[in-house]
């Protein structure tokens, strides 16, 4: 199984990327292959000049083609997804997400822009013809604590539960397409879902 994880935050220390870290660890638990792409990986000139033939974009397209499913995260900027993420996705061919389940994740300063997930981010993913878009996870900055010791964000239990539920459905959606994945039994507790073959 091959999961592509796309980070849409331009920030080096990022709450949305912290949620992606969690999803990556979740899949690494049982040796799924995860690949990670960040908007920060792209040369700004490639994006500004719409160089869709550039090797950075072509490599990204190949990673999408190889992926069985996509997890994509964006911060909320001006009530919508980050413009830099749109600049990257603009360079993809039409229907790039066809036959892929997609799990969207957003973080915003407050809960008041929660609708950005349903009214802005999901329609963008639908335009790329994502096969099935999960309900997704929206976290506000109050859902994170900052650990001074490790300089990391700690995710609230509420958001961990939402991530676990979405990841389970996302996994099952990929399983529908590729019958050869092992059937997993999920044991849920408040912090994690443990998958067993
Ligand atoms: C340029 C900019 C614009 C933002 N606009 C909004 C906004 O419209 N609504 C909102 O709820 N939060 C807004 N925020 C706050 C971020 O969405 C929030 O802090 C988010 O968790 C950042 O995610 P990140 O750490 O992954 O970059 C904005 C932040 C920045 C830097």
Residue 139 Cα: closest atom of ligand 1:
21
d(CA 141, CA 35): 26
Which of 15-24, 87-96, 141-150, 157-166 shows the lowest per-residue confidence on average (mean pLDDT)? 141-150
144 ligand 1 Cβ < 6 A? no
Summarised one tens digit per residue, pLDDT across range 27-41 is: 998 778 999 999 999
- The DSSP line for 22-49 is HHHHHHHTTT-EEEEEEGGGS-HHHHHT
HEC profile of 45-66: HHHHCCCCCCHHHHHHHHHHHH
Q: Which atom of ligand 1 is nearest to the CA of 73?
A: 26
pTM as predicted: 0.92
What is the per-residue pLDDT across 94-134, written as a single tens digit (0 to 9) for each? Answer: 999 999 999 999 999 999 999 999 999 999 999 999 989 99
**d(Cα 74, Cα 138) in Å, to the nearest integer?**
10
Ligand 1, residues 77, 85, 116, 140: which to mutate, most atoms within 8 A of Cβ?
77
Find out whether the beta carbon of 142 lies less than 6 Å from any atom of ligand 1: no
């Amino acid at each position: 199984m091959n999961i592509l994880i796309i980070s849409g935050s331009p920030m080096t220390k990022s709450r949305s990327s912290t949620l992606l870290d969690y999803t990556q660890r979740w899949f690494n638990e049982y040796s799924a292959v995860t690949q990670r792409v960040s908007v920060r990986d792209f040369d700004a000139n490639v994006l500004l000049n719409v160089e869709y033939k550039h090797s950075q974009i072509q490599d990204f397209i190949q990673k999408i083609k190889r992926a069985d499913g996509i997890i994509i995260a964006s911060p909320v900027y001006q009530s919508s997804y980050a413009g830099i993420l749109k600049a990257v996705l603009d360079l993809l061919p039409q229907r790039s997400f066809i036959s892929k389940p997609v799990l969207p994740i957003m973080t915003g300063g407050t809960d008041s822009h929660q609708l950005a997930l349903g009214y802005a981010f999901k329609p963008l993913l639908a335009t790329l013809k994502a096969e099935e878009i999960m309900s997704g996870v929206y976290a506000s900055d109050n859902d994170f604590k900052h650990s001074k010791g490790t300089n990391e964000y700690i995710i609230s239990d509420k958001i961990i539960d939402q991530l676990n539920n979405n990841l389970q459905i996302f996994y099952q959606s990929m399983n529908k397409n590729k019958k050869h994945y092992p059937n997993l039994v999920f044991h849920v507790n408040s912090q994690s879902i443990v998958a067993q073959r």
